[in-house]
C-alpha cells in the first residue's frame, strides 16, 4: 500500500513547472522534505547558485528559493537516492511535440516520461505515489501503470495520480500561492482515492479545500489539454477578428471591450496580438488534434487544428503588413524588434512570435536588431537557428542589443513583439530623434499610446486598428 501521509517529495525535472511548483510546496509545507532532481548538472548548479542566478526568471521565485532552499528544499542530480527516499514522486519532465516517427508534428513525445517511469520502477524499494505533473495525452497513466507493474520489485506498490499545472508564466508564483483550482485525478478505487487524499493533504497546507478538485484519472489528463485549447481558441478568435478590423476600419480594442462586457463571454484572453506562444498552447492543441485523429474524429481534429493555423497566419500577416508598409521592401533596412520572450515577465522563448517575425525579416534581407530585458543572447541565437539556420549568416544581418534605445538607433521601424512594461515608458522623443525618417512603429501587442506617438512624428500601426498607409 502506498503511503497515506507524505513526508518526503521527489520531483523529477527542474524546469519551468517542477522548479517553481515544488519550491512553493516546500515553502508552504516546512514539515515536508522536497528534493528536486535533474540530470542536467548546469541547471542544478544554477538552482543552487549562491548569488541566486536561477535558470528561469519568474517574479517572486527568488524570494521563495531564498527562504526554503537548504531548509527543506534541495536541488540535486542524485536522482536514484531521491526516488528511493520519497513517499511521493512528481514526474515533471519535458513532453515536446514529436519531430519524427508516428504522429510527427502533432503527438507528444513521451520518451522522457517513459524513462522516468522505468527509473522509478527500477529504484523504488518501498511503495510510492507517482504523480503526472507533465502535460500528457489522455490515458498516459495507463502506460505508466503497465511499466511500473512489469518492472517493480516484489511487494512494491504504486498509485498513479494526475495533477496538471495551470500556471501562467510571468504570474506563476502568484498562481501557485492562490490557485483557481488544484486538479487531482485518480482511479476511482479505494487505493486511488487514498492516494488522492494524501496529495490533497499536501495542498491543504495553504489551498482551501473547495479549490481542490478530485476527479477521475482520464478526466484530469484531458482537462489540462482542454483548458489550454480553449484559451488559445479565444486568442485566435480575437486575432481573426483583428484582420477584419484592419480591413474595415473597426478597432479591435473597442470590439474586444464590447464583446467582453457580455457576461457569458467575459474580457479575459480577448487581447489581440501578434500571436500566442509559450511551451503549452501550440503543443497541447496539436496533441489534441492527434488524439482526435486517432479516435477517428476528423472534424474535431480539423476544428482544433484551425486554432494553430490562425496563430501562424497572424504572425505571418503581421510581418507581411510591415514589409508592405515599408514601401514593399526591407532589404538592408534596419528593423528593431523589441521583445524576444513570448510574453512579459518571463525569459521563456518557446514558440515566441518574435522567432517567426525575425526569421521572416531575415528572409527579406533586412538588418534586424533585437532587445529583450531577460532573454540571454545565446538563447536568441539558438532559437533563430533551431531549424538548421546558418549562424554565421544570421550574425551578418542580426544584432543583439543591450537596451531598447540602442536597438532603435538608426532603425527605419520598431516592432513591439513582447509587452514588457519598460517599452510603455520609453523616452519615445529620444527614440524618434535617433531613427531614420520616416520613423515607423508597429505595435503587435497594443501597449502604446498611438496618438501621443503620432504627435512626436511617428507613423504608428497597431494590430487590429487599421494600416493607414495600405
Catalytic (active site) residue 165: yes
The residue annotated as part of the active site, out of 22, 28, 133, 165, is 165
Q: DSSP character for 398?
A: E
Strands of the sheet containing 440-443, edge to edge, are 398-400, 367-371, 334-338, 413-416, 440-443, 459-462
Q: How far is CA 378 from the centre of its chain?
A: 19
Contact between 307 and 233 under an 8 Å Cβ cutoff? The reply is: yes
Catalytic (active site) residue 280: yes
Q: Where are the alpha helices (DSSP H) in 48-132?
A: 61-68, 79-85, 111-123
Q: Which three cell numbers stand for residue 115?
A: 524513462
Q: Which three cell numbers stand for residue 276?
A: 500566442
The residue annotated as part of the active site, out of 28, 280, 283, 305, is 280
The residue annotated as part of the active site, out of 28, 224, 271, 344, is 224
Catalytic (active site) residue 10: no
- Across the strands, what pairs with 161? 131, 186
Q: Which three cell numbers stand for residue 469?
A: 498607409
Contact between 265 and 238 under an 8 Å Cβ cutoff? The reply is: no
Catalytic positions, written as ranges: 165, 224, 280
Amino acid at each position: 500500500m502506498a503511503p497515506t501521509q507524505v513526508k518526503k517529495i521527489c520531483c523529477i525535472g527542474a524546469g519551468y513547472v517542477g522548479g517553481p511548483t515544488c519550491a512553493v510546496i516546500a515553502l508552504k509545507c516546512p514539515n515536508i522534505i522536497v528534493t528536486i532532481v535533474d540530470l542536467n548538472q548546469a541547471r542544478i548548479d544554477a538552482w543552487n547558485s549562491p548569488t541566486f542566478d536561477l535558470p528561469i526568471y519568474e517574479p517572486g521565485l527568488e524570494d521563495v528559493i531564498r527562504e526554503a532552499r537548504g531548509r527543506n528544499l534541495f536541488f540535486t542530480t542524485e536522482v536514484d537516492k531521491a526516488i528511493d527516499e520519497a513517499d511521493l514522486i512528481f514526474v515533471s519532465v519535458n513532453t515536446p511535440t514529436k519531430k519524427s516517427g508516428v504522429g510527427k508534428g502533432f503527438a507528444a513525445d513521451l520518451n522522457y516520461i517513459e524513462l522516468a517511469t522505468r527509473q522509478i520502477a527500477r529504484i523504488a524499494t518501498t511503495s510510492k505515489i507517482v504523480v503526472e505533473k507533465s502535460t500528457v495525452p489522455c490515458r498516459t497513466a495507463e502506460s505508466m501503470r503497465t511499466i511500473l507493474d512489469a518492472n517493480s520489485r516484489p511487494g512494491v506498490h504504486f498509485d498513479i495520480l494526475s495533477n496538471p499545472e495551470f500556471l501562467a508564466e510571468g504570474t506563476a508564483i502568484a498562481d501557485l500561492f492562490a490557485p483557481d483550482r488544484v486538479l487531482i485525478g485518480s482511479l476511482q478505487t479505494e487505493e486511488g482515492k487514498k492516494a488522492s487524499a494524501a496529495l490533497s493533504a499536501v495542498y491543504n497546507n495553504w489551498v482551501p479545500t473547495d479549490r481542490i478538485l478530485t476527479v477521475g484519472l482520464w478526466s484530469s489528463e484531458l482537462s489540462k489539454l482542454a483548458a489550454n485549447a480553449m484559451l488559445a481558441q479565444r486568442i485566435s478568435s480575437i486575432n481573426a477578428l483583428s484582420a477584419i478590423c484592419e480591413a474595415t476600419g473597426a478597432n479591435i480594442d473597442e470590439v474586444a471591450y464590447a464583446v467582453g462586457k457580455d457576461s457569458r463571454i467575459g474580457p479575459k484572453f480577448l487581447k489581440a496580438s501578434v500571436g500566442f506562444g509559450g511551451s503549452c498552447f501550440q503543443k497541447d492543441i496539436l496533441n489534441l488534434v492527434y488524439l482526435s485523429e486517432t479516435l477517428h474524429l476528423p472534424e474535431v481534429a480539423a476544428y482544433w487544428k484551425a486554432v494553430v493555423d490562425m496563430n501562424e497566419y497572424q504572425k505571418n500577416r503581421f510581418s507581411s503588413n510591415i514589409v508592405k508598409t515599408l514601401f514593399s521592401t526591407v532589404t538592408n533596412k534596419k528593423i528593431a524588434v523589441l521583445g524576444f520572450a513570448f510574453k512579459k515577465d518571463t525569459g521563456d522563448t518557446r514558440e515566441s512570435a518574435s522567432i517567426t517575425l525575425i526569421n521572416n525579416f531575415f528572409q527579406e534581407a533586412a538588418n534586424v536588431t533585437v532587445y529583450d530585458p531577460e532573454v540571454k543572447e545565446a538563447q536568441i541565437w539558438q532559437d533563430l537557428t533551431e531549424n538548421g539556420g546558418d549562424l554565421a549568416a544570421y550574425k551578418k544581418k542580426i544584432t543583439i542589443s543591450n537596451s531598447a534605445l540602442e536597438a532603435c538607433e538608426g532603425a527605419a521601424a520598431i516592432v513591439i513583439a513582447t509587452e514588457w512594461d519598460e517599452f510603455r515608458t520609453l523616452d519615445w522623443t529620444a527614440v524618434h530623434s535617433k531613427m531614420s525618417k520616416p520613423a515607423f512603429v508597429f505595435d503587435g501587442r497594443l501597449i502604446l499610446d498611438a496618438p501621443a506617438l503620432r504627435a512626436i512624428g511617428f507613423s504608428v500601426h497597431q494590430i487590429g486598428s487599421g494600416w493607414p498607409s495600405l
